Amino acid sequence: MTAHKIDYAIHGDDMQVVEIELDPGETVIAEAGVMNWMEDGIVFETKMGDGSRPESGLMDKLLSAGKRVITGESVFMTHFSNAGSGKKRAAFAAPYPGRIVPVDLAAHGGELLCQKDAFLCAALGTGVSIAFTKRFGAGLFGGEGFILQKLQGDGLAFVHAGGTVIEKELRGETLRVDTGCLVAFSPALDYDIEMAGSLKSMFFGGEGLFLATLKGTGKLYLQTLPFSRLADRIISASRIGMGRKQDEGSLLGAFGRMIGGK
């Protein structure tokens, strides 16, 4: 299925939103819960699957839905269509700070692999499925990079990355990356997981136990602030704050008991 041709504009800096302009009859698919606003004339419907294969039967749809359950994503996707007579707009954003990256899948050979939480929305006709890594080591130790989403088609797709986005082009080179920092890459690149170094470095270096290794020729996108890293900092700070409150409460209680005993 040929993807719908859509126009777009990205607004904002660190908390970006992509506003997509749809001609009458055009549709954009999106993950559940990422829509911010839509103009009158836009209608939406929750469907099982991405709609890239309208001829597929019930079993194919159930199989595709089951694969999305494995990734932790919703079984359903939302289809936003322009049912009006003129151009209409709908806007989509991710739930944490970062950048939205527009990707022309045709320029990537019709396919892109990305982290399971990176996909935001795409033109109708884009296939969204899962892709297991080729090697057992990557599957066993990949962490955030184990189960990848596969985007297929010839239209525009939008992925979200935390922090700053770095686009790199490898030409027969090798790059080692923290698994959480890898957003998306060309399937032409060889992807595997390797140990971060010696046992001392693994457990005390603070860089994680394993690194993703990419080799070959192709393009990749990196993020400076993976959501898992942001969540870890927030949890750590909240624990410190709770500990301080408990300490303060203990001191006040001890002071109160001293006064009451006099």
For residue 136, what pLDDT is reported? 45
List, edge to edge, every strand of the sheet that includes 7-11: 7-11, 17-22, 88-92, 35-38
Domains in the chain: boundaries: 7-161
For residue 247, what pLDDT is reported? 58
Is residue 169 within 8 A of residue 185, CB to CB? The reply is no
What architecture (CATH level 2) is domain 7-161?
Answer: 4-Layer Sandwich (3.60)
For residue 211, what pLDDT is reported? 82
For residue 130, what pLDDT is reported? 81
For residue 119, what pLDDT is reported? 92
Cα separation, 49 vs 63, in Å, equals 10
Is residue 220 within 8 A of residue 168, CB to CB? The reply is yes
Cα separation, 169 vs 185, in Å, equals 10
Q: Cα 128 vs. chain centroid, distance in angstroms?
A: 12
For residue 244, what pLDDT is reported? 61
pLDDT tens for the chain, 262 residues long, are 788 889 999 999 888 999 999 999 999 999 888 999 999 999 999 987 777 765 555 566 566 556 556 656 666 889 999 998 899 999 999 888 899 999 999 999 999 999 878 999 999 999 988 876 555 454 444 444 457 889 999 999 999 999 899 999 999 999 999 888 999 999 999 988 777 655 555 555 555 567 889 999 999 999 998 877 777 777 877 776 665 666 555 655 654 565 565 4
For residue 209, what pLDDT is reported? 65
